[in-house]
Amino acid sequence: MKNNYIVLLTVILAGYWINLSGQTAPRQGEILITEIMVNPEAVSDANGEWFEIWNATNHDVLLNGLTLKDAGSNQHVITSTDQLVMPAKSYWVLAKNGDILTNGGVVVNYIYQNFTLSNTSDQVIITAADETLIDQVSYGSGWPVVSGASMELHPDYQSFSGNDQPEHWFPARIAFGAGDKGSPGKANPLSSGLEEWEQGIRLDIFPNPSQGRFILEATFSKPQSGEIRMINLLGQDFIYKTFSERAVLREVIEPDFLTPGIWFIEVVSGGQTKATRLVIDR
Ligand SMILES: [Ca+2]
Ligand SMILES: [Ca+2]
Ligand SMILES: [Ca+2]
Domains parsed from the chain with CATH numbers: 31-191 (2.60.40.1260), 194-280 (2.60.40.1930)
Distance 159 CA to ligand 2 centre (A): 7
Least confident of 34-43, 50-59, 190-199, 204-213: 190-199
For the chain, the average pLDDT equals: 87
Ligand nearest to the CA of 164: 2
User: Which ligand lies nearest to the CA atom of residue 147 in the structure?
Assistant: 1
Q: Which residues share a beta bridge with 203? A: 218
Tens digits of residue pLDDT in 229-247: 999 888 889 999 999 988 8
> pLDDT band at 256, cuts 50/70/90?
confident
Distance CA 47, CA 95 (A): 9
> What mean pLDDT comes out for the span 43-47?
98
Distance from the CA of 265 to the center of ligand 1, in angstroms?
25
Among the bound ligands, the one closest to the CA of 54:
3
Is a pLDDT exceeding 50 seen at residue 84? Answer: yes
pLDDT above 70 (res 94):
yes
Q: Which residue has the higher pLDDT, 170 or 135?
A: 135
- In sequence order, which residues have a C-beta less than 8 Å from that of residue 38 and are 6 or more positions away? 49, 117, 118, 119, 122, 139, 145, 150, 151
pLDDT digits (tens, 9 = 90+) for 109-161: 999 999 999 999 999 999 999 999 999 999 998 898 989 999 999 888 999 99
Cis status of the peptide bond prior to 209, with omega within 30 of 0: yes
Task: Pick the ligand that lies closest to the CA of residue 48.
Answer: 1
pLDDT for the residue numbered 218: 87
> Which ligand places an atom closest to the C-alpha of 46?
1
Write down the pLDDT at residue 28.
Answer: 97
Contacts of the segment 70-74: beta carbons below 8 A, 24+ positions apart: 70/115, 70/122, 70/123, 70/124, 70/125, 71/123, 71/125, 71/138, 74/114, 74/115, 74/116
Centre of ligand 3 to C-alpha 54, Å, is 9
Q: How far apart, in whole angstroms, are the C-alpha atoms of residue 80 and residue 72?
A: 24
User: Can you tell me the distance from the alpha carbon of 6 to that of 148, in angstroms, rounded to the nearest whole number?
Assistant: 59
CA 151 to centroid of ligand 1, rounded, Å: 12
